Structure 1
């Protein structure tokens, strides 16, 4: 199992019970982006989440930058910083899954960032739709200067759904390329992942293509919300 090489180098702080969301962030040589990502987490309007950072053997200054930011700002959410020898994105995400405690799990790439109301919108939607198994949302693309770029997904009519969807509806939309297979385009219950032993395939390309359809298949009720990363 991937996490046998993992060691905790920062203990979890401000331990919380019944955390809504575990945000899993694999890190590998992203010193250019890590600051923006962490700041987007620190600024969240709702702090009912934990962040699990997994250093997948970075050789640049990513971890030093992360540590400096975390040490220099007052954290209102729990976090863990895990370290492992380089094994790739799939292995890092699996390590995050095995260390998550939140009711829901979200996979956030380390060169991305989220809107400051992301967690709050997820929480509100969970209450509104009586804790759906999975929540799907769109995204916006920006360049390194923060300028908006054209994107192919996340803006079509499917994202204007107002009712709960079944796994069949979502898988049909997936087959038509109306929604992406990317792991960062949804939030799902940890129980869905654990019950069906869902992990990312290590050592294979396009790992999301194998993982995401399984999440949708095993999700009994899914909601599409008007939220962008």
Structure 2
């Protein structure tokens, strides 16, 4: 039986880093049994736009990505909790 890995990534003010972070995640050798959960905590920059543009380069990852949106900024801990609430993996990793 294969185990699923959930990778949780809060997004707020990470425009400078989101492409490098997501590229590193999407290029991991683990191709199956992984989900990426990004939580937009009402970031005011272009972090989400950059993530969505980068995802076009990794079409095989699109089905593995969940992008969740907070209706108001709630902070890092709440973003991680939101992601955790939606995680289906046997193992969880936060980035």
Same fold (TM over 0.5): yes
Structure 1: where are the runs of 5+ without partners? Answer: 1-17, 109-229
RMSD: 1.4
The Cα of 1:92 is off from its aligned counterpart by: 0.2
- 1:55 aligned onto 2:40: yes
Give aligned pairs, total. Answer: 91
Structure showing greater Rg: 1
- Structure 1 runs, 4 residues or longer, greater than 6 Å off: none
TM-score, with structure 2 as normaliser: 0.88
Structure with greater contact order relative to length (CA < 8 Å, sep ≥ 6): 2
- 1:44 aligned onto 2:28: yes
- 1:89 aligned onto 2:89: no
Cα distance in 1 between the residues matched to 2:4 and 2:92: 9
Q: Is the CA contact 1:54–1:81 (under 8 Å) kept in the aligned structure 2?
A: yes
TM-score, with structure 1 as normaliser: 0.38
| Deviation by residue 1:177-227 (Cα, 9 ceiling, x = unmatched) | xxxxxxxxxxxxxxxxxxxxxxxxxxxxxxxxxxxxxxxxxxxxxxxxxxx
Structure 2: where are the runs of 5+ without partners? Answer: none
In the TM superposition, 1:76-155 aligns within 5 A as 76=61, 78-84=64-70, 85-108=72-95
Cα distance in 1 between the residues matched to 2:7 and 2:49: 20
